[in-house]
Amino acid sequence: MSGLIQKITPHLTFNDEAEEAVDFYVSIFKNSKVLNITRYGEGEPGTAGAVRTVRFQLDGQELIAVNGGPSFHFSAGISLYVRCETQEEIDELWEKLSEKGEKESCGWLKDKYGVYWQITPVIAWEMVNDPDREKSQRVVKATYNMSKLDTETLKKAYEG
């Protein structure tokens, strides 16, 4: 009945730009699409006919966006972590998602809608969790000196 497949679905609450934000995200990520849009009806808290929720997929991961009004704000306390296979993928996502947003440190950015993202190479997780503490710490320290993460720099730090 619900149509949702995954047990836990991230729910992003925007002021009134949920549909615009979803269209932006879907245009950036492969294997992405809008699944469903619901609109406010007469007598509901929003303007009748305006978008209430957008159910969508980003690279196969399901999310929901809602227009909740001006009392909702995003913070760095929660972010969308994107594991990238190549430096080219990192570069592309970094530029597109940070356009009119804010580029931060350690692979973090805030997009123009205020949503926080971590654009990270797949190998970074493996390297920072290596049981060899010296190797992992070199990688962690290398990330502190970067805004957009660079896989070659991380590999060099890992290898010492």
Q: What fold, for 74-160?
A: 2,3-Dihydroxybiphenyl 1,2-Dioxygenase; domain 1 (3.10.180)
Domain boundaries, the chain: 1-72, 74-160
Question: What's the mean pLDDT when you consider all of the chain?
Answer: 94
Name the pLDDT band for 1 (thresholds 50, 70, 90).
very low
With H, G, I as helix, E, B as strand and everything else as coil, classify residue 153: helix
Q: Which residues contact 50 (CB under 8 A, 6 or more apart)?
A: 16, 39, 40, 67
Name the pLDDT band for 47 (thresholds 50, 70, 90).
confident
Q: pLDDT at position 74, please?
A: 95
Specify the CATH number for 1-72; select among 1.10.10.1800, 3.30.720.100, 3.30.420.40, 3.40.720.10: 3.30.720.100
Share of the chain above pLDDT 70, in %: 97
Q: pLDDT at position 43, please?
A: 86
pLDDT at 31 over 80: yes
Q: Does this model's pTM top 0.85?
A: yes
Name the pLDDT band for 5 (thresholds 50, 70, 90).
low
Tens-digit pLDDT profile for residues 52-77: 999 999 999 999 999 998 899 999 99
Q: For the chain, what is the total number of helices (H) and then of strands (E)?
A: 5, 8
What does the pLDDT average to over 123-128? 93
Which is nearest to 146 in space by CA: 104, 113, 116? 104
Q: pLDDT at position 3, please?
A: 62
What does the pLDDT average to over 41-45? 87
Residue keyed to tokens 């947003």? 101
pLDDT at 4 over 70: no
Q: pLDDT at position 2, please?
A: 55
Tens-digit pLDDT profile for residues 126-149: 999 999 999 999 999 999 999 999
Do the first three CATH levels of 1-72 and 74-160 match, i.e. the same topology?
no
CA dihedral (118, 123, 129, 134) positive or negative: negative
